[in-house]
Amino acid sequence: MATEDKNRATAAAILPLVGGAANVSSIAHCMTRLRLGLHDRSLVDDEALKAVPAVMGVVEDDTYQIVLGPGTVARVTPEFEQLVEKGRAAAPEPGEAAPSVSAEELAAQGAAMKAARKAKNATPFKLFLRRVANIFVPLIPALIGCGIIAGLNGLLVNLGWLTSVTPALAAMASGFMALIAVFVGYNTAKEFGGTPILGGAVAAIIVFPGVANIEAFGQKLSPGQGGVLGALGAAVLAVYVEKWCRRWVPEALDVLVTPTLTVLVSGLVTIFGLMYVAGEISTAIGTFADWLLSNGGAGAGFVLGGLFLPLVMLGLHQALIPIHTTLIEQQGYTVLLPILAMAGAGQVGAAAAVYFRLPRNESIRRTIKSALPAGLLGVGEPLIYGVSLPLGRPFITACVGGAFGGGFIGLFNQLGDKVGSTAIGPSGWALFPLLDGNHGLGTTAAIYAGGLLVGYFAGFLATYFFGFSKDLLTEFNVSQEPAESTVAATGGPTTPDAPAKEPAGV
């Protein structure tokens, strides 16, 4: 089957299982997940969705998220959007209008249920982090592409090859990073309800070379000072100024006065305040990251690697995105990402141990075999939600594996061998093309590979010996006939006549 037909078939298989086009209120995607807003959650068939070949798992948060994996999700989403548009365009027959009242009532119940869940989980802090993620996540493809080109260019320069081409590669790799503040400003204004181009215009002030002739707080400004943090603050300010203008400026003058005042007021505050303050914050972030790994070393890496999976589960990992981006702006790479990527290595090791500890559970073993390649490439959701988290203890032992892998890389950072990534997004084996450091690519790659191996083995050993109680083994190490039983959404076995089991206790 052609790739385009395969993606269309995947989208066509998903749509009826989420309640059809009428049940879809919004469509978006990130690096690995198709994120759907749904009117009525009760219309979704979770088990049937998980059985679709391209679906690696499902996650419910503020949106219903279907894990498809990197690359696949970017191709399936446009096909899904087309199917939804066609479904909405198909007008109902006149005779079908009778049950409209009951359908509206059902949709209202679903909306109420969704609102209750969102009210429970949507704390102001988490909502703010989601907004920050919405600003930076769209930039990740460019960060990855430019980061790989930067790594290739560095390799060619070190080898002395293609000297006439390397300057062009350097321009390709650096062009986006030189203007990243503009893109951050654009996305920020869009996310906070302002005019995106005005946010980009105000943020562009930060990277304009002419700011070098301006003095603020007794110091000359430098182009790029404040970086993405300054751009974020400048664009948020621009949104508030613009909204104030829309409220008070007469409509006849709005098209002239509002954009002018927005850029003027926000620009002056940015030049004579935000650039300096954000610059100091950015410098402090870089200094603290270097100090933490230079002095904390293995201990800092152990804590960071061990806590990253719980941070992901709580959604708090989104707070790290601007920190990563700031470090990449300042140093050319983020030293935090390779350490945090060890959480995925611990997850892979834990899943391998579960595979060997449950030789009779064909269902869980099938899940592991299908999800393990994605886990090795840094896509951990299928293993997390399909294996370790439902079992309880293996999730904790996976964190232990990540802690040891992070400690390994942290130790080398303390010894002077920095391991960094020139972009954010990938992890696992997929991070190798983005690696950079202060002692050459060979040394950096060897340390990172060593961290992965430590994470694999530590996660495997911790799970194999400590990941299962006797009761847990008795419950899950049982043979299951596919025709008579299935694996519940939590990963536990169920039978057609028995209720689904709750996730195993820790």
Q: What is the CA radius of gyration of the chain?
A: 25
CB neighbour burial string for 91-113, b if at least 16 within 10 angstroms, e if fewer: eeeeeeeeeeeeeeeebeebeee
Distance of CA 357 to the CA centre of its chain: 31
As separate numbers, helices (DSSP H) first and strands (DSSP E) second, the chain gives 22, 10
Name the residue with tokens 């393990």.
Answer: 372
Active site residue 30: yes
CA atoms within 13 A on the CB side of 403: 13
| ∠ Cα 168 171 172 (to 5°) | 90
Q: Residue 29 and residue 65: Cα distance in Å, rounded?
A: 9
Q: Residue 6 and residue 81: Cα distance in Å, rounded?
A: 15
Residues forming a β-bridge with 29: 34
- Amino acid letter, 407: G
The three-class DSSP label of residue 284 is helix
Q: Residue 426 and residue 409: Cα distance in Å, rounded?
A: 17
The three-class DSSP label of residue 26 is strand
In contact, 393 and 451? CB cutoff 8 Å: no
| ∠ Cα 241 246 249 (to 5°) | 100
Tally Cβ neighbours within 10 Å of residue 443: 15
Q: Residue 459 and residue 73: Cα distance in Å, rounded?
A: 29
In contact, 76 and 54? CB cutoff 8 Å: yes
Q: Residue 423 and residue 475: Cα distance in Å, rounded?
A: 43
In contact, 425 and 320? CB cutoff 8 Å: no
Name the residue with tokens 């847990």.
Answer: 472
In the 8-state DSSP scheme, what is residue 272? I
If we measure between CA atoms, which residue out of 199, 201, 177 comes closest to residue 186?
A: 199
> CB within 8 A of 471, min separation 6: which ones?
none
Give one DSSP letter per residue of 388-450, joined into a string.
IHHHSHHHHHHHHHHHHHHHHHHHHHHTT--EEESSSS--GGGGGGGEEESS-HHHHHHHHHH
Q: Residue 177 and residue 193: Cα distance in Å, rounded?
A: 25
| Per annotation, catalytic residue among 30, 146, 245, 399 | 30
**Residues identified as active-site:** 30
